[in-house]
Amino acid sequence: MSEKPTINPIKRIQDSQIENTNPSAAEKEEEEGEATDKSQTNEEKNPVQPYPDYEAEFVDLPSKGIFYKGRFKGLDKLKIRKLNYQDEDILTTKSYYENETLFNEILKGVIVDPNGFRSEQLVPVDRDAILMWLRIGAFGKDYNVPYACDQEECGKKDTRTWDLADIDMPEYNPKFEKELQDTGEVAITLPSGTKVKLTVPSTGRELEVKKMLDTEKRQLKTERNYIITGRLLTVISSVILDGKEFNSLKEIREWMRAGTGLSIIDSRYIQKMAKEIDVKIKTAKTFTCKHCGHVEEDVALPMTIYFFWPEYEEISGISN
């Protein structure tokens, strides 16, 4: 039985072993939905990065490039540089954690891929794999997270540890793999009869949806939770009505609100199918409280402030 590939940043991939990190680049001259202006590349957004190839390696992308378009379709590796002192200024800025922009800020500067791939094009599973690679290179493979036992009679503090170098790469649902490889989407028919296409969104798409909904909330002056609406908008790539395909974010939002709105039956079906086509790194572990013996199963790795700032508890005095 062959071993599953793991996200192991310690094993170096030599440049000479990779003749072409993007086999489809020569076949695709234009990229769908992307600006071709060179000013949009990561390198030009971050001109103050000295020696961009220093400590840079090719990192495997778990998505295998299935969800990328145009010349990046099938991209399975990206050249990433290790963190340096400039990144440390970002990593120790607490406000980046609070407004959830920390990872985006870091990724903008570490991708040094010569083909001009931008950080906002990453799908979540590739983003997480790169972040784990960076974390291991900077702080080692053991990720320690402080926590308090959730048993009322205990409540004592302890530490949970994940070995980041021993996490398996995810696999696609074989039911949808062929369709995803061909188109990057899966076409489904909702219980209502409407046909839609689903995909795994890029981090840029997630940010675009968040911006749209934040604006909508301000205009409506509401505190309503938009989590489900946001989830639907990110995974629906197009809606097919009367033989015509609508794929802009604005059009999809208008379709969701038309009439009495998207039914809860259709909504839940979309969410269920989106989970089936998604691909995520499996980090769930079982932990036992060393104080009371309480067992907690399926604990997912939390990418909190400790992920890139392991000394935060000590610096902030939380433990006192």
Lowest-pLDDT choice from 91-95, 120-124, 245-249:
91-95
pTM for the model: 0.78
Lowest-pLDDT choice from 26-35, 86-95, 153-162:
26-35
CA angle 91, 93, 96 (to 5 degrees): 90
pLDDT-derived band at 33 (thresholds 50, 70, 90) equals: very low
What's the pLDDT score for residue 81? 94
Q: What is the CATH number of domain 174-277?
A: 3.30.2220
Contact by Cβ (8 Å): 305, 97: yes
Q: In the chain, what are the domain boundaries? A: 15-169+281-316, 174-277
Using the predicted structure, report yes or no on whether residue 32 has a pLDDT greater than 60: no
Using the predicted structure, report yes or no on whether residue 50 has a pLDDT greater than 60: no
pLDDT in tens, 145-182: 888 898 888 988 889 999 998 887 788 888 998 999 99
Comparing CA positions, the residue from 318, 281, 260, 216 lying closest to residue 62 is 281
pLDDT-derived band at 188 (thresholds 50, 70, 90) equals: very high
What's the pLDDT score for residue 247? 93
Contact by Cβ (8 Å): 121, 204: yes
Using the predicted structure, report yes or no on whether residue 97 has a pLDDT greater than 70: yes
What's the pLDDT score for residue 21? 42
What's the pLDDT score for residue 282? 87
Contact residues for 297 (Cβ-Cβ < 8 A; gap 6+): 284, 286
More confident site: 33 or 284: 284
What's the pLDDT score for residue 273? 97
Sign of the dihedral through C-alpha 271, 183, 192, 207: positive
The mean pLDDT value of the chain amounts to: 82
pLDDT-derived band at 268 (thresholds 50, 70, 90) equals: very high
Contact residues for 107 (Cβ-Cβ < 8 A; gap 6+): 119, 122, 127, 130, 131, 203
Contact by Cβ (8 Å): 247, 184: no
pLDDT in tens, 101-142: 889 999 999 999 888 899 999 999 999 999 999 999 999 999
Amino acid code (one letter) for 111: I
Report the alpha-carbon distance of residue 91 to residue 124 in Å, rounded.
Answer: 19
Contact by Cβ (8 Å): 108, 46: yes
For residue 113, what are its two tokens? 């891929």
- CA terminus-to-terminus distance, the chain: 49
More confident site: 216 or 17: 216
What's the pLDDT score for residue 171? 82
Report the alpha-carbon distance of residue 94 to residue 300 in Å, rounded.
Answer: 23
pLDDT in tens, 53-87: 557 899 999 999 999 999 999 999 999 999 999 99
What's the pLDDT score for residue 314? 57
Using the predicted structure, report yes or no on whether residue 7 has a pLDDT greater than 80: no
Comparing CA positions, the residue from 226, 228, 205 lying closest to residue 217 is 226
pLDDT in tens, 198-242: 999 999 999 999 999 999 999 999 988 899 999 999 999 999 999
For residue 309, what are its two tokens? 């700032």
Q: How far is CA 288 from the centre of its chain?
A: 29
Sign of the dihedral through C-alpha 179, 122, 218, 223: positive
- Residue 320 has a CB neighbour count (10 Å cut-off) of 6
Using the predicted structure, report yes or no on whether residue 276 has a pLDDT greater than 80: yes
Q: How far is CA 154 from the centre of its chain?
A: 35
